[in-house]
Amino acid sequence: MAEVIASTEQKPQRKNAAAEKLIRWIDLPNIATELPPEVLRDMATVCIEEYDYDKSSRKDWEIWMAEALKLATMLTEPPKEEPWGNASNAIYPLIAEAALRFSSRALPNTIKEAQIVKGRVIGKDEGGQKAARAQRIGEFMSYQLMEQQPEWLPDHDKGLTILPVMGCFFKKTYRDYEEERNVSELVNPMDVVIHFKAKSLDSAKRITHVFEIHKNQVIEKQRSKVFLDIDLGAGDTQAVTGEIQEREATYVIHEQHRRWDLDGDGYAEPYIVTFHRQSNQVLRIKARYKRDSILLTPNGRQIAKIIPRQHFTKYTFLRAFDSNIYDFGFGQFLGHSNRTSNALLREIIDAGSFYNGSSGVICKGLLPKGATSIRLRPNEFEPVNDVPDIRTKMMMVDARPPAQATYSTLELSIQAGQRLGSTEDVLAGKGYANQPASTTLALIEQGLKVVNSILMRINLAAKEEFRKLFELNKENLTDEAYYMVQDEARAVARADFEDKDCDVVPVSTTADTTQTEALIKAEVVWDKLYENAVPVVREEIAQALLAALNIPDREKYRTPADWRPPEDPKIAIEMHKLDLQQQEIAHDRERLGYEGEKLPFEIAKLKVECIKMLAEAEAKEVGEQFNKYKEQIEGVIASLPETAAKKKPATKPAARRKPAKAV
């Protein structure tokens, strides 16, 4: 189909008048102002008839939900008259406990470190620009949900409480142009009417949102040209939040997301039709498509397809066995177990009350005049007629305590419901003495199989909701918007939302749905790997443990980059010994060097002594004997090392000696 369809953005050769009209209607606040009254009347009639058709298809589901809500809220029923007046009317909190435990696990998983949304990079990111843009998108959208949309988190909390009981809840995402912000509000499934057998929101023919507004809100919308200026009467008798007797009237409004052929080309376009059922009038028609979702045939003469904008997101608890649109919750799964437990519990209480009390029969002659029975309170004596033996005039009924089989059946019913609702001992915070951590982790993991699968569906729905908010930012964000992260002002650009290489996903994950599970995993890694790990890996293991403990500001626990561990004392002693040895070696070298420096001076001294001896011999001996002495002295001098004789001292110069006095 995509090969033969061209978008209006591709500028076909011939302008299509129908497409141009539809494009003009996109920015129109109320298309109903351009339609004749008879068209609006026919549209109102058809919308009401088809709404009734969709609502009748789910009448059995509405009965189930009414009963489930009674059990979940433990709504007190009227006093019972059987087997006697004011008999036990107790309700066992099976559905309430399962819903509360699921909600308490799911909500903390929504927010992590003050962030709800995170950006995800699509494709390669060599320069890191995509990652930086994804970080800005995630931080800004989290800031929007927490600060600019203050109703989002409370609504999400309510939705996670409704979800396990009713099986689903809806989020309606749109742009509030009056307040200039995005809105993603919670809608109760009882107020979203869809045909019961519809496969999905996208394939459903109609989605009708039923809500109530008061008269002042109607006037505001009429004066701002959002609603047609029509008299809606004094108020609706079907309104729940208001009554017709109030001074300010309340109206039930139906907003139907559907298709209708307004341009008469035989192809129904997607619109939002807002109508008032009691007066049978259309109040508003709004386009439910974008410019680039209008696809033309290749020649541009006809509209081939219009992709509707989906405003609703459905959060699913468990898929229904019969594939209905509203899915299944604990209200359906645990309803029968809860009613069985209630019946057994009431039977035990009534039997105990009968056993603890005193009942019997009494002869009428024993009764005081005008009395039909005798009821005694503590410390009270009732006068009776005088009879010979009062014990023969009355008989006590032999009452029995509740049977043990009833207790066993009640326990069996409760355990079956707890297994189905994943509220057994380990998941309820109970454990066993001397139980290994690995065993506890295995039990938690096994018990959380059902919970994790539900959280996965919640994450998929949250991703769809955040994608709708992403598109609204892409269309309505200013060129640059500012947000705060830990008291630091940052900016995000509209262009960040225009690229297709970034996506948005929830920060929540099903990896660790409980703090206990995450902590046990972190402790196992610490015990097994920390001691033998390299410093960098040790740092990451410590950070994972701090994260499992939910320690804030974990970065301050990181080791500084310039820090060095202290030396081992044994190593320090050995290093000191090595330094001493090196000092001794250096001292010996210095001593040897000093001795070497003295050698030239000793040689010079010997030469001087030789010269002196020669001079003395010359003075005493003459002739052949002198020459003999001279040869011997010259031989001694020649035998001395030449290099040593010529070497000059490096440190201390040799003292000048006076030359020998010539004889």
Torsion of CA 424, 426, 431, 434, to 10 degrees: 130
Q: What does the alpha-carbon distance between residue 284 and residue 254 come to, in Å, rounded to a whole number?
A: 11
Chain-centroid distance, C-alpha 508: 3
Q: What does the alpha-carbon distance between residue 161 and residue 99 come to, in Å, rounded to a whole number?
A: 6
Q: What does the alpha-carbon distance between residue 463 and residue 465 come to, in Å, rounded to a whole number?
A: 5
What per-residue confidence (pLDDT) applies to 446?
Answer: 61
What per-residue confidence (pLDDT) applies to 624?
Answer: 60
Side chain identity, residue 220 = E
Phi, psi (degrees; rounded to nearest 5) at 131: -65, -40
In the chain, the N- to C-terminal Cα span, in Å, equals 133
* Residue 309 CB partners (closer than 8 Å, separation 6+): 270, 288, 289, 290, 293
Q: What does the alpha-carbon distance between residue 104 and residue 354 come to, in Å, rounded to a whole number?
A: 40
Q: What does the alpha-carbon distance between residue 356 and residue 494 come to, in Å, rounded to a whole number?
A: 75
Contact 517, 468 (CB under 8 A): no
Angle at the Cα of 659 from the Cα atoms of 656 and 661, rounded to 5 degrees = 150
> Within a 13 Å sphere around the CA of 44, how many CA atoms are in the beta-carbon half?
20
What per-residue confidence (pLDDT) applies to 193?
Answer: 97
Across 399-423, b (16+ Cβ under 10 Å) vs e yields eeebeeeeeebbeebbebbbeebbb
What per-residue confidence (pLDDT) applies to 439?
Answer: 60
- Mean of the per-residue pLDDT values of the chain: 81
What per-residue confidence (pLDDT) applies to 4?
Answer: 42
SS3 392: helix
What per-residue confidence (pLDDT) applies to 653?
Answer: 45
Residue ranges of the chain with per-residue pLDDT less than 70: 1-15, 240-247, 376-381, 422-448, 510-517, 550, 565, 567-568, 594-598, 601, 608, 614-630, 632-663
Q: What is the token pair recorded at 173?
A: 């995402």
Nearest to 454 by CA among 331, 332, 328, 338: 328
Contact 171, 312 (CB under 8 A): yes
